[in-house]
A and B are shown apart, each in its own frame.
Chain A
Amino acid sequence: MRKSAQRVGILLVVLTFGTAVMAADSVTVLPGPDAAEQLQEALITAEPGSTINLAEGRFEIIDGLSLDIADITIRGAGMDQTILSFDGQKGGGEGFLITSDNVILEDFAVENSKGDGIKSKAADQITYRRIRVEWTGGPDETNGAYGIYPVESKNVLIEDCVVRGASDAGIYVGQSENIIVRNSTAAYNVAGIEIENSKYADVYGNTVTHNTGGILVFDLPNLPVMGGHSVRVFDNRVVDNDTDNFAPAGNILGMVGRGTGIMVMANRNVHVFANTLKNNDTVHVLIATYPNDFDDDNYIPHPRAVMVRKNIYEEGGARPAGDVGDIISNVTGTPVPDIVWDGVVPLTEWVTWTSAEDRIYIQEPEGTTFANLKMIQNTLYPWGASPDRAIADYAGTLPEPKAVTLPQLKTRN
């Protein structure tokens, strides 16, 4: 009876709008002792174009879930109403793995997965909407690494999501392109939001708070996809990032000092603007070179063409922590300036100059503080090096990357 009512509804939609709406079926999975098996079976047998509804309640899942069918919507009853709990997880590197295209995830939560929360790999058009991924015990190095984790993907939309407690990055987009992360909340993670080895990303309208690091834009060596570029970070609230680094040792994020607001490492063409930064313990904005030795001819460890403009800076940098916090504050003293650049450029440029289109530019309101740590001089002759605080010398502009557009947003409008 209900099913036929749905069919009639779809028919009406088709008649009314005259568009090719697929006659999609939907299934509903209810919580209960067999729910995990029923859900996984639904994920395997779903017809493209269909919706899998997750009813309100708590689903106890023992093995990682996975979806490999395209054009599927998975919809819960709300991020606090439908909960996939992985407290008893025995297998799977993540809670939920998606490997197919054109998938929408909406209105449910993943809690306490043993590895990553939700991972989508090599997927074109993946949408995470009103999804919560959380490790409910608070920050702990035994929590999973990534909360929302699209990788090697294209056309990624993450909106109105909440991620808490990830022992690496709450929202992590890696080796991907065409990305929007917006209006989401990342709290109590090692990194709130991280865009890594990715290009064409817009990160805006997010609240990033009580993490170790707020928003990180990184490029790392020895990976199939490198050369991250064209990233805009704007209109975010990056405040009260004050959680001690709880990343398991050995991870690159282990170096991030407690309370690093926005950090750009390597990458090209990154624009940071109109963000509000407040009470970040180590520094509000850090621009840095990849600090480890590497063996990769195709990798550029230096940040290139970075534009920092019109952000709002309030108190911060008063309690620098970690190795990086120590290195910075040893040079600058406390409070650490609002914006810090390590000043490391390729040696050829250090003895000559950096061309205009590759430089770091800063265009901030009066009273904003800045330091170029001049780390090369600092390493070569530490007795004679002092940081360059002349922010006016870094004035200038760079062309801004175009706003990211996504096919899944176009079809909706």
Chain B
Amino acid sequence: MQRGQLMRAMRVSLLLCLLALCLPGARSLAAGVNEAALLNEKPARLLSEYNLFSDGPAQIPVDGVLPYDLVTPLFSDYASKFRFVHVPPGKTAAYADPEVFDFPVGSALIKTFAYPADLRAPEKDVRLIETRLLIRQPDGWKAWAYVWNDDMRDARLKLAGKRLHIQAIGLDGGPLEIDYAVPNANQCKGCHALGKTITPIGPTARHLNRDHVYSDGVENQLLAWSKRQILSAAPRPQDAPRAANWQDTAEPIDRRARSYLDINCAHCHRLEGPASNSGLFLTFGESDKRRWGHRKRPVAAGRGSGGYTYDIDPGKATSSILIFRMKSQDPGIMMPELGRSLVHSEAVTMLEAWIDQME
């Protein structure tokens, strides 16, 4: 290109930019999130209609969609997860604790489930399975699941759920067969119902309070969200609560265990959750020993009790119902009821150690 041409091209593009800034509604013309689709009462048939990704198969989001991670994530049959948040321009989520942040209408939480061919190389040969959306609409949160097509170009809405057979190489190098269940719209509520309404689970201050590797460097997520003006009124990270990473052996085992139970169980096992009738409450902040299972007898466990007397039998992991149910793969026994077909044996080992040292 000649220098003159280059200058002309730059002037033209500058002019276009200025024009775009002046034009009302120009923002929606840009390649950003399709805010209207998010607010539509009816879910889009294809994930691409929301325009959340500039490169869907590579899970590269458009501007305005920010990736995030949790301190301790929910276990879902060893699936890898890509999480993103979108808050509509000009609005912010209000900081809250211990509940999830209060997201404004038009927000979306996006989570893609994927499996690498070999769990020991999580970045390589990743196959996308489904992308779940939680969309904040005027009358509350909506939950939809989109299953990726075989060609990985787009994902399609699935209301009634679906079972997928997935094969991978496990962490131990052996073959892993996963009977993966895409949830139906009601099963979404099975975990996301708080009282009668749907609510997110992950984005609490304690589970977001960690560093994330952004394209322009490493930053604490609470800071990053505040700077990008999608979160308001957040305290400094050092003043905000932080859950423990369940794998971090530098943390006290009590914090690791309670953090794991918090994210994996407490969405149901809390007073306002689907498992309220059990009387077992596993939120991170639950301080009543009996309520979090310490020498607590089962109520409606049926054969889920495994013949044991207490949910947590201090000093005796092998006779604790909590461990028995986490080790089971029988639908009439296993916990959690949804979202797993395999045993999370690494976490079970950690929880066994926690109970064994308990008095």
Contact = CB atoms under 8 A, between A and B. Distances in A.
Nearest to B291: A222
B279 A222 contact: yes
A310 B187 CA distance: 48
Contacts of B341: 90-91
B160 A249 contact: no
Contact of B290 (A68, A168, A296): A296
Contacts of A224: 271, 276-277, 279
A66 B189 CA distance: 10
Interface in B280-329: 290-291, 295-309, 321
B241 interface: no
A395 interface: no
A146 B301 CA distance: 10
Interface in A295-327: 295-296
18 contacts: A40-B160, A66-B186, A68-B186, A90-B163, A91-B337, A93-B332, A99-B189, A145-B300, A151-B277, A152-B276, A168-B300, A222-B279, A223-B279, A224-B277, A248-B307, A250-B307, A250-B309, A251-B301
B190 interface: yes
Given A122-B196, A174-B300, A224-B271, 16 more contacts: A45-B159, A63-B161, A90-B163, A113-B332, A114-B331, A115-B304, A116-B302, A145-B303, A151-B277, A152-B277, A167-B302, A168-B300, A223-B279, A224-B276, A248-B305, A249-B307
A319 to B, nearest CB: 25
A355 interface: no
B186 A144 contact: no
Residue among B181, B184, B186, B321 with max Cβ neighbours from chain A (10 Å)? B186
Residue among A89, A145, A152 with max Cβ neighbours from chain B (10 Å)? A145
A292 interface: yes
B265 to A, nearest CB: 13
B330 interface: yes
Interface of B: 159-161, 163, 179, 181, 184-187, 189-190, 193, 196, 271, 274, 276-277, 279, 290-291, 295-309, 321, 330-333, 337-338, 341
Interface string A105-126: 0000000011110000110000
A18 B193 CA distance: 39
The 4 nearest A-B residue pairs measured at CB: A145-B302, A249-B307, A250-B305, A114-B332
Contacts of A175: 277
Residue among A37, A38, A45, A149 with max Cβ neighbours from chain B (10 Å)? A37
A67 B161 CA distance: 14
A44 B185 contact: yes
Interface residues of A, number: 53
Contacts of A146: 300, 302
A203 B24 CA distance: 68
A346 B279 CA distance: 25
A122 B296 CA distance: 23
Contacts of B181: 63, 90-91
A115 B196 contact: no
A295 B289 CA distance: 10
Contact of A44 (B160, B303, B330, B337): B160
| Chief secondary structure at chain B's binding surface | loop
A325 to B, nearest CB: 20
B160 A37 contact: yes
B184 A44 contact: yes
B75 to A, nearest CB: 15
A57 interface: no
A66 B301 contact: no
A348 B102 CA distance: 51
Given A90-B179, A174-B300, A121 B187 contact: no
A41 interface: yes
Interface string A349-391: 0000000000000000000000000000000000000000000
Contacts of B338: 91-92
Contacts of A67: 186
Interface string A191-208: 000000000000000000
Interface string A1-14: 00000000000000
Contacts of B299: 174, 220, 222-223, 252
A407 to B, nearest CB: 19
Contacts of A251: 298, 301-302, 305
Contacts of B333: 115
